[in-house]
A and B are shown apart, each in its own frame.
Chain A
Amino acid sequence: MGKHVVVDPITRIEGHLRIEAILDDNNTIVDAYSSSTMWRGIEVIMKGRDPRDVPLLAMRICGVCTGTHYYTSTQTVEHALGVVPPKNARLVRNLIQGSLYIHDHVVHFYHLHALDWVDVVSALKADPAKAAEEARKWASMLKDPITGETIRPWKDGVGEFKAVQDRLTKFVKAGRLGPFANAYWGNKSYKLTPEQNLVAVGHYLDALQIQREMAKLMAIFGGKNPHPQSLVVGGVTCVQDIQNPARLGHFGDILGLSREFIYRAYLPDILMAGTVYAEEALAGIGRGLGNYMAYGDFRMDDNPWYQGKTLFPQGLVLNMDLTKVYDVDQSKITEDVTHSWYEYKGTDKPLHPFEGQTNPKYTGFKPDGTLDPKGKYSWIKSPIYDDHRVEVGPLARMIVGYARGDERIKHYVDWLLKSGNLPAKALFSTVGRTAARAIETALMVDVMKEWLTELAKNVAAGDLSTWTEYDFEKLTKGKELKGYGLTEAPRGALGHWIRIKDGKVENYQAVVPSTWNGAPRDYKNRMGAYEASLIGTTLSNPDQPLEILKTIHSFDPCIACAVHVIDTKGKELGVYKVEPVGGACFI
């Protein structure tokens, strides 16, 4: 047996994640374990509260996709109460959620993921003139999917690249790599040329500025970013903002700038990386489970509750077979705790979120300080869909949409694949996961413009309604209600489930994208998506687990939200009194 590699902390993610990998003598990963090492207990905190107050709390599940949990939770309560928000609210929510997508994806690619592909130090050796040529080359391979015009590069001035390089040189000379210090520079698995690296580093720095602009998109109708505040059960509160032409105009301007950056920098960079790393993609490095699931999201019409058309269709694709798509049915979702630091009372079977239990049972690490994969080893549960382990995320959304023959998605996916001269099968890989996210960003920034126009038109036509009235007392008094919110967070399928009894939250459960992807093994000893994706990857230097980071980052882990809560019954803290509810917090 070769080495046992431990990576803790995995950095450049949100939350706390530990990966352990077992290598064979060729430094190829033959086994891997993914463990979340933090949890907070937000679901149990929901219990007993007024359901109308829950979305603000649920938003704090994550500081990155804040708006997504907010929106999902609001929808969960609305579903339970049977309240359908008006058109303006739907459009505003789409715009807020859409702005989160483009912001999140750009930040993820450049600031969290790019350093796995891009060797910053190598860029010092680049010839700025050649870098400018390089920038032109990749951009020119792309045609605008709407106008058909050839894309102009974000920057292609020799002077501009020279400036980037000068700045880097100064930093390196001063011994101040800052956040770039002690990384894996020079590692063999970096494949871009110095010029290509310089192009990417230039965009990395520009993206720092652009993302701040993008964050304002959320603030315009949401109040602030992160943690917007304008969603309420029944609608949105920003009625002043939607009738203010200056605000709509501001939104449109930033959207335009965002599109420029996405089309002229992000996409050419993806094309460049995808081409240089094409071999890996075609070999399926980082593919993982091969099962993809999407709940579907972004309502395109005002039909109530899961009966309307969505921008991303729902569906399940098994075994990379694009010829078949199954409908997703939320009742087939369960969570298993065989290898998670929890125990179920009265059953060993995986449980549906409505009946979920979360009793902590921490068993710790092995005496040598490593995870115990035979026992329990993570604060994440293992979700199972209809007896399948599945991957969720942008790749799943693009694959499900593609397999469903969705015209818009097919158009964008084919467009990028064709530009890079790659077959669809290249998508089933680490590279593919990263490319799918970029494709989705392009699609999103375009569809957001349509929503903005729709909103402006609707308001101009005199519709100012932003909230649907409902009688909370009447709806909830003496009753037990159930509801769920199924959406697509930037990182994938997100579900919240609520049970309301007599106007109070009886039970709240969230099964989030990083639970699906980052989960440990299940009762059949089947791996979670992160784990499976690492198998077969060879490390060029086991002391520098760069390939592990690359594949794990391609999922855009976001672990704060992936961890479950405790039933205080399960752990005697002594200080608090909680009425035990029917076996556990989560009936």
Chain B
Amino acid sequence: MQFFDREHLRSIFTKPTNYINTNRGKEYYDNLYKKMEKRLNELKAQQPVKEAEIKFQELLETWELSRRDFLKWVSATTAMLMLPPQFEPLVAQAAEVMNRVPIIWINIQDCAGNTEALLRSASPTVDELILEYLSVEYQEVIMAAAGDQAEENLHKAVKDFDGKYLLFVEGSIPVGMPEAFTIGRHPKTGVEHVKHLAEHAAAVIAVGACACFGGVPAAYPNPTGAVGVMDIVKGKPIVNIPACPANPANITGVVIHYILTGELPELDSLLRPKFAFGYRIHDNCERRAHFDAGEFVEEWGDEGAKNNFCLYKMGCKGPFTFNNCSIVRYNEGTNWPIGVGRGCIGCSEPDFWDKYATERPLADSDIQPPGLHGVEATVDEVGLGILTATAIGIGVHAVASAIAGKKDETKEEQ
């Protein structure tokens, strides 16, 4: 990650909204549609993972879930994947053939936060049903089997679905100190465990900040030498779904996309799906108008706080953070961190613990991101830059909107 110069900062703070290309033209979508249809037909012709098949329709009925609820979920998911509405029937079909894709989910240096998040995910019935309908062959937090029987399930799944399963990894991997994680009757280290299972997988999905970029264990001074999956797995498609924990909607989205296309979604340079991490929090923040108007919370619980002013001066890192929380929110849209009056801590960004998770704006934060190179110099630079940026924000809307008005063509860098 590079820190920002003034111009760059200015562009970050004032860029109007998403820069993702959501309209790619008829030809593009026609081709995509055909491709997806083909893929779905192939999947339909395949046997489900288990011998006999439970029909998705039957499952809907036993869950007492109306077709309407299901369709509502379908259109939300289609929109999230940035597909035009005519793709909805395909998304619905994708859900119906999900039982063709086996899943193995492992936990390394984790806190189970992502598993927990998934279990509590939104649109209860549909996600739940999908969880049930997907062939989750191994998941330590929910499976009934333990010990030898659990290991047996894992071996069997690897053998039966060699090269076909999606491997989900939760938690970081201690490479500096492999003994910091072992598992099994004949203890294997986390490094061995991940490498072995990745080798036989179709693709690897890193879920949560830890599995993507090392997360909490990798925060300075990274006592166990924790890293993310992409640092140790080579030669396999990998997708990162960061955040602490990952938003379950993004997990479901990646799986649906994989089923629809047989490929991982379009990724940014940090291997994050663009449909979810193509926006900044700041782009779609409900407090953005206050930012542009220079209205800030200056102290917890002050008049600004009572009026939902912008949290930038209280340390919000929304302008630096790529994630869709401001759109998707949490727990069925119940709330989200900025909604509750606390700034964003940038949990979908690498090294966020050392860079963003402070209670103060970057400029005032005495944080030393010591794990980063050339720290002293950059901290000062950032300080300067951010002060300027704050001034832009505070310099009331006149300045801000004048700049916002200028079409900024600067490409986002990550």
Q: Which residues of A are in contact with B by a Cβ distance under 8 Å? A: 6-16, 37-42, 44-45, 48-50, 52-53, 56-57, 60-64, 66, 107, 111-112, 115, 120, 163, 166-167, 170-171, 173-176, 178-184, 208-209, 211-213, 215-216, 218-230, 232, 234-235, 237-241, 243, 250, 360, 362, 364-365, 369, 379, 464-467, 469, 503, 543-545, 549, 560-561, 565-566, 568, 571, 573, 575-578
The smallest C-beta distance from A572 to any residue of chain B, in angstroms, reads: 10
List the A residue with the shortest CB-CB distance to B132: A178
Interface membership of B121, Cβ < 8 A = yes
- Contact residues on B (Cβ < 8 Å of other chain), bracket: 35 or more
CA distance A215 to B120 in the complex (A): 7
Selected contact of B183 from candidates A37, A107, A181, A230, CB within 8 Å = A37
What are 14 inter-chain pairs, A to B, with CB distance below 8 A?
A12-B146, A14-B112, A14-B116, A63-B112, A112-B141, A174-B52, A179-B143, A181-B143, A229-B345, A230-B342, A232-B342, A237-B305, A240-B305, A573-B176
Q: Do the beta carbons of A362 and B117 come within 8 Å of each other? A: no
When A and B form their complex, which 10 residue pairs have the shortest distance between CB atoms, in order from nearest? A63-B113, A41-B223, A183-B144, A63-B111, A223-B340, A224-B330, A237-B341, A7-B147, A467-B301, A467-B300
Q: Do the beta carbons of A181 and B62 come within 8 Å of each other? A: no
CA distance A16 to B366 in the complex (A): 35
Chain B contacts for A60, CB-based, 8 A:
111, 113, 215-216, 244
Q: Do the beta carbons of B367 and A11 come within 8 Å of each other? A: no
Q: Do the beta carbons of B221 and A45 come within 8 Å of each other? A: yes
Selected contact of A57 from candidates B144, B183, B226, B357, CB within 8 Å = B357
The smallest C-beta distance from B121 to any residue of chain A, in angstroms, reads: 7
Interface membership of B150, Cβ < 8 A = yes
A53 in contact with B224 given A40-B217, A573-B176 (CB within 8 Å):
no
Q: Do the beta carbons of B359 and A52 come within 8 Å of each other? A: yes
List the B residue with the shortest CB-CB distance to A180: B144
Q: Do the beta carbons of B341 and A40 come within 8 Å of each other? A: no
Q: Do the beta carbons of B331 and A11 come within 8 Å of each other? A: no
Interface residues in B117-155 (C-beta closer than 8 Å to A) = 117, 119-121, 124-125, 128, 132, 135-136, 139-150, 152-153
Q: Do the beta carbons of B112 and A38 come within 8 Å of each other? A: no
Q: Do the beta carbons of B340 and A179 come within 8 Å of each other? A: no
Count chain B CB atoms within 10 A of each CB in A178, A208, A465, A561 and give the residue with the most.
A178
List the B residue with the shortest CB-CB distance to A370: B185
Chain B contacts for A44, CB-based, 8 A:
221, 223
Q: Do the beta carbons of A545 and B340 come within 8 Å of each other? A: no
Q: Do the beta carbons of B335 and A224 come within 8 Å of each other? A: yes
Interface membership of B240, Cβ < 8 A = no
Count chain B CB atoms within 10 A of each CB in A7, A229, A565 and give the residue with the most.
A229
Q: Do the beta carbons of A15 and B112 come within 8 Å of each other? A: yes
Interface membership of B24, Cβ < 8 A = no
Chain A contacts for B185, CB-based, 8 A:
6, 8, 369
Chain B contacts for A166, CB-based, 8 A:
62
Q: Do the beta carbons of B359 and A50 come within 8 Å of each other? A: yes
The smallest C-beta distance from B187 to any residue of chain A, in angstroms, reads: 6
The smallest C-beta distance from B249 to any residue of chain A, in angstroms, reads: 12
A578 in contact with B112 given A14-B141, A170-B54, A173-B52 (CB within 8 Å):
no
List the B residue with the shortest CB-CB distance to A116: B144
Chain A contacts for B54, CB-based, 8 A:
170-171, 174, 176
Selected contact of A50 from candidates B145, B174, B367, CB within 8 Å = B367
CA distance A66 to B114 in the complex (A): 12
Q: Do the beta carbons of B110 and A63 come within 8 Å of each other? A: yes
CA distance A53 to B356 in the complex (A): 10
Interface membership of B220, Cβ < 8 A = yes
Q: Do the beta carbons of B135 and A230 come within 8 Å of each other? A: no
CA distance A267 to B127 in the complex (A): 28
Q: Do the beta carbons of A167 and B62 come within 8 Å of each other? A: yes
Interface membership of B408, Cβ < 8 A = no
Q: Do the beta carbons of B331 and A215 come within 8 Å of each other? A: yes
List the A residue with the shortest CB-CB distance to B113: A63
Selected contact of B335 from candidates A11, A241, A544, A565, CB within 8 Å = A241
Interface membership of B299, Cβ < 8 A = yes
Selected contact of B224 from candidates A11, A41, A208, A227, CB within 8 Å = A41
Chain A contacts for B332, CB-based, 8 A:
212, 216
A179 in contact with B112 given A41-B217, A226-B120, A241-B340 (CB within 8 Å):
no
CA distance A235 to B359 in the complex (A): 13
The smallest C-beta distance from B137 to any residue of chain A, in angstroms, reads: 8
Chain A contacts for B110, CB-based, 8 A:
63, 560
Q: Do the beta carbons of B117 and A226 come within 8 Å of each other? A: yes
CA distance A577 to B141 in the complex (A): 36
Q: Do the beta carbons of B109 and A38 come within 8 Å of each other? A: yes
Chain A contacts for B148, CB-based, 8 A:
6-7, 543
Interface membership of B348, Cβ < 8 A = no
Chain A contacts for B223, CB-based, 8 A:
40-41, 44-45, 565-566, 568, 571, 573
Chain B contacts for A464, CB-based, 8 A:
301, 306
Q: Do the beta carbons of A226 and B132 come within 8 Å of each other? A: no
Q: Do the beta carbons of B366 and A50 come within 8 Å of each other? A: yes
Chain A contacts for B149, CB-based, 8 A:
182-184, 544
The smallest C-beta distance from A507 to any residue of chain B, in angstroms, reads: 15
Interface membership of B263, Cβ < 8 A = no
Selected contact of B50 from candidates A45, A175, A218, A235, CB within 8 Å = A175
A8 in contact with B225 given A170-B58, A573-B176 (CB within 8 Å):
no
Q: Do the beta carbons of A38 and B180 come within 8 Å of each other? A: yes
CA distance A467 to B226 in the complex (A): 36
Chain A contacts for B116, CB-based, 8 A:
14, 63-64, 226
CA distance A177 to B332 in the complex (A): 28
CA distance A168 to B232 in the complex (A): 40
CA distance A176 to B134 in the complex (A): 10
The smallest C-beta distance from A238 to any residue of chain B, in angstroms, reads: 5
Chain A contacts for B53, CB-based, 8 A:
174
Interface membership of B231, Cβ < 8 A = no
CA distance A209 to B131 in the complex (A): 13
